[in-house]
Amino acid sequence: MSSVFLISCVLFITLFVSSTYAQSCTNYNFTSNNQMSFTSCSDLPYLNSFLHWNYNPSTKTAKIAYRHTKIASTRWVAWAINPTSQGMVGSQALVAYQKSDGKMSVYTSPITSYQTQLQQGDLSFNVSDLSATYINNEIIIFATLKLEDFNSTILNQVWQEGPLSGDSPAMHDTSGVNTQSAGALRLLSGQSGTTSTKASSQFNKRNLHGLLNAVSWGVMMPIGVLFARYLKVFSDPAWFYLHSIWQITAYVIGVAGWATGLQLGSESNGIQFTAHRIIGFVLFSLATLQASAMLLRPKRDHKHRIYWNIYHRAVGYSIVVLGIINIFKGLNILKPQKKWETYYIATLVGLGIIAAFLEVITWCVVIKRNKSVSNTVEKNPQGLHESNWYDGHENGTNRTHYRV
């Protein structure tokens, strides 16, 4: 029994070591019509990928072979150099996949946004001898890159895989190793180091930007409006303090999200989401104006108070509408898992149902109270001046009707 166990352990260790050795780029031999040798190679740390290359410093030319193993025929692969920054946006990509008819599709694609569909286009540097193979669940992309405009031999590289939709690339996963597949390629030293920490940091920053803005502009601001709209009928003047504290908190969180967005924009040279950015600036400006205007709020019995009320409500509702619109624009940019958009829509629907319910309850309460006021006036007209009604409660003024 012990001998069987010992033999099993030896076989397991042998298979493990053989598998590990077989997965090393230094042990790989290019076969078929693509027989060639490469002086440098790197085992990329994620997505079962390897890079082989020859670099001629006198001509600034690199011949590369990007291998992506354990890949199904229903998926695409890409390898890219990013001349401007780390991460996906700005990358100059080589894309390959097997089409439904069995033929290989291989082309160049400049990545200009997070919602890219990997459309074919020219890169910022010349590419020649571009080809690809798919054999034994392994895609290999071959290319010659003319890197004349690069001042450094240390490049930012990105590699990726994702599903196909018909014969077109679809969005890859936005979590796990798919967000870590970036690194530094040292052409002369023959080494490739990961910069996954920085790439992951930028990814986490995008998520933080989206989370802060969704919570503040997309959820807290609408809830604050509900406080002002409905709680005043039941708890005056407590509603005012709750509304103010809640909206100020939402504003602070929103400003943090806005500032994170500005930082992301500064780190993505040449990449702008114009509509999303403009709405963000408008939101920040309106919210800052709204917060500042509280310092200039006239008293309730002031003749200009009605105009201030109109302004305050108009700006408040505008912030809510623009905030929700921009949240959906942000979701379209980040393209997270579909469940997050579903959760947000469900939240808005829930708030809408609550608002409709409270609207009915509020009108019922107001109508009932107004009837009570009318009956009191009919029975004791002189007693009216002894009562403090809702609209005048804060400053001791007299009103004859409650308002919603």
What lies within 8 Å, CB to CB, of 91 at 6+ separation is 80, 81, 82, 110, 111, 158
Is residue 64 within 8 A of residue 178, CB to CB? The reply is: no
- 393 known member of a binding site: no
Type of residue numbered 240: F
**Closest among 175, 170, 183 to 116, alpha carbons compared:** 170
Q: Tokens 């260790």 appear where?
A: 13
Q: What is the DSSP string of 199-227?
A: HHHHHHHHHHHHHHHHHIIIIIHHHHHHH
- Ramachandran sector of residue 32 (left: φ over 0; alpha: ψ -120 to 50; beta: rest): left
- 304 known member of a binding site: no
Segment (H or E) for 365: helix 338-379
What gap in Å lies between CA 216 and CA 79, rounded to an integer? 37
What lies within 8 Å, CB to CB, of 187 at 6+ separation is 40, 53, 55, 57, 62, 153, 154, 155
What gap in Å lies between CA 35 and CA 54, rounded to an integer? 14
- 312 known member of a binding site: yes
**Closest among 85, 68, 73 to 157, alpha carbons compared:** 85
- 209 known member of a binding site: yes
* Numbered residues of the known binding site: 209, 243, 276, 312
Name the binding residues for heme b. Answer: 209, 243, 276, 312
